[in-house]
């Protein structure tokens, strides 16, 4: 892919999650996230890459991208796994990678516990059972209904790994969600100001080529960052990927290159809705869904989409979710985006233009509100490549 143009000073970091177990020295990188940091804004773009993406791996050939780190041992690639996976990302996505950071299961748990756990807004009901050496029965059920939950390292690891009642693409959403939560927790505790004293602990948990000077240079950028200025993008959808079966590789996700290039040109740029660029639309949430915590869930999704949520109120139950529009002009209006987010029809929009209104929109959650809808991952699967139908032999001659 041609190199993607990015603002001067952009730093691209590849975050990797390895399935390496104790005693192993190499493993697949089933979690892959390209993080572009734009220091001048400041803002961040996160792009999740599916583990089964069918990539060209230099010196090896076509294979699932989660094997690139492993293939360096076979091919003797200079610089080993880190160098080969960086080269693979640049070749397939047009982004030069300046640094990488990789964690395994145990170090991931340690990082989450080091920040005191994370507060996670669960949008889709989450259920799974995990082997658990710390349980008397050897396993633990995890059942999280939509709402705000505080997770320690063990539960956060399960939360980002599970695919039992979801998909690999929904897992990408949860992975980015926890990365955001770790950063937010570290910022709230002023931990970035303590990087020098925490450096030894960090080195024990993370395999990386980023040194202490580079970490110190990024700390002021992080401390100026607003969570609304972190953009999330996911390589998914039938416009970007086709599911197919390849000999010796099994099921892979083959890219549509032209569409992917267009996608990457937008994904690898700073958020256009950043605070430095324009004022965010203000959306007030009234929760009439009958579930007390769902107002916070709706507010979380709205903030992820770039809106400001000045207030959340409880209200009497209502059958349908409604959107009230207080803006006085349709120019640049996000009403179509809001309707898509809540799967609304025009009859669910009430226009009440009000000059000088302190809010732009009100969303009243009804009994039909499904907090999972806004994630964009419900029921999505790539379209399989059709197999040719066997020819039907002609009927025998009478």
What is the token pair recorded at 96? 């030069």
By CB atoms closer than 10 A (0-12, 13-18, 19+), residue 34 is buried
Which residues of the chain form CATH 3.40.630.190?
11-267
SS3 259: helix
pLDDT of residue 391: 42
pLDDT of residue 164: 62
Q: Where are the alpha helices (DSSP H) in 20-167?
A: 68-75, 80-93, 105-114, 153-161
Distances (CA, A) of 272 to 44, 47, 230, 264, 342: 11, 16, 11, 15, 22
Q: Are the C-beta atoms of 66 and 55 separated by less than 8 Å?
A: no
State whether CATH 3.40.630.190 applies to domain 11-267. yes
366 Cβ contact list (under 8 Å, min separation 6) = 288, 289, 317, 318, 319, 320, 321, 322
Which residues of the chain form CATH 3.30.70?
283-374
Distances (CA, A) of 35 to 44, 159, 375: 7, 21, 20
Going by their DSSP bridges, the two strands 139-144 and 126-131 should be labelled as antiparallel
pLDDT of residue 24: 63
Nearest C-alpha neighbor of 341 from the set 389, 398, 298: 298
Please state which of the four CATH numbers 1.10.4100, 1.10.10, 3.40.50, 3.30.70 is assigned to the domain occupying 283-374. 3.30.70
Distances (CA, A) of 247 to 196, 239, 240, 253, 292: 49, 24, 22, 13, 51
pLDDT of residue 242: 96
The neighbouring-strand residues paired with 252 are 244
Element (H, E) at 142: strand 139-144
Cα torsion 103, 105, 111, 115 to 10°: value is 150
Mean pLDDT in consecutive groups of 10 residues from the start of the chain, 398 residues: 95 90 70 95 94 96 95 93 96 97 90 93 89 88 92 92 72 91 91 85 88 91 88 93 93 96 96 62 95 94 91 93 95 92 95 95 96 73 40 48
């Amino acid at each position: 892919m041609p190199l993607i143009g990015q603002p001067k000073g952009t730093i691209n970091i590849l975050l990797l999650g390895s399935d390496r177990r104790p005693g192993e020295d190499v493993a697949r990188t089933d979690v892959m996230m390209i993080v572009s940091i734009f220091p001048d804004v400041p803002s961040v773009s996160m792009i999740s890459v599916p583990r089964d993406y069918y990539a060209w791996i230099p010196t090896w050939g076509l294979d699932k991208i989660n094997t690139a780190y492993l293939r360096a041992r076979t091919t003797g690639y200079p610089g080993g796994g880190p160098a080969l996976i960086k080269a693979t990302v640049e070749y397939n996505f047009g982004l030069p990678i300046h640094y990488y950071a990789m964690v395994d299961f145990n170090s991931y748990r340690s990082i989450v516990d080091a920040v005191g756990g994370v507060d996670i807004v669960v949008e889709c009901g989450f259920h799974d059972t995990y082997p658990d050496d710390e349980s008397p029965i050897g396993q633990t059920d995890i059942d999280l209904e939509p709402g705000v939950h505080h997770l320690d390292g063990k539960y956060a690891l399960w939360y980002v790994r599970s695919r039992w009642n979801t998909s690999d693409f929904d897992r990408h959403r949860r992975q980015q969600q926890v990365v955001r939560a770790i950063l937010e927790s570290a910022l709230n505790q002023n931990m970035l100001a303590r990087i020098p004293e925490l450096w030894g602990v960090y080195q024990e948990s993370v395999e990386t080529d980023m040194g202490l000077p580079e970490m110190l240079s990024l700390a002021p950028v992080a401390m100026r960052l607003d969570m609304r200025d972190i953009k999330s993008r996911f390589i998914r959808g039938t416009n970007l990927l086709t599911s197919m079966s390849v000999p010796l590789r099994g099921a892979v996700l083959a890219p549509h290159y032209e569409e992917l290039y267009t996608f990457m040109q937008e994904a690898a740029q700073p958020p256009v809705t950043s605070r430095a660029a324009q004022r965010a639309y203000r959306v007030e949430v009234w929760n009439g869904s009958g579930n007390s915590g769902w107002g916070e869930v709706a507010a979380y999704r709205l903030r992820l989409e770039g809106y400001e949520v000045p207030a959340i109120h409880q209200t009497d139950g209502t059958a349908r979710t409604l959107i009230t529009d207080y803006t006085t002009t349709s120019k640049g209006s996000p009403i179509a985006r809001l309707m898509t987010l809540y799967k609304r029809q025009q009859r669910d929009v009430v226009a009440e233009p009000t000059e000088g209104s302190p809010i732009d929109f009100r969303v009243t959650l009804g009994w039909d509100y499904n907090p999972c809808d806004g994630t964009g991952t419900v029921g999505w699967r790539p379209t399989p490549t059709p197999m040719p139908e066997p020819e039907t032999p002609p009927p025998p001659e009478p």
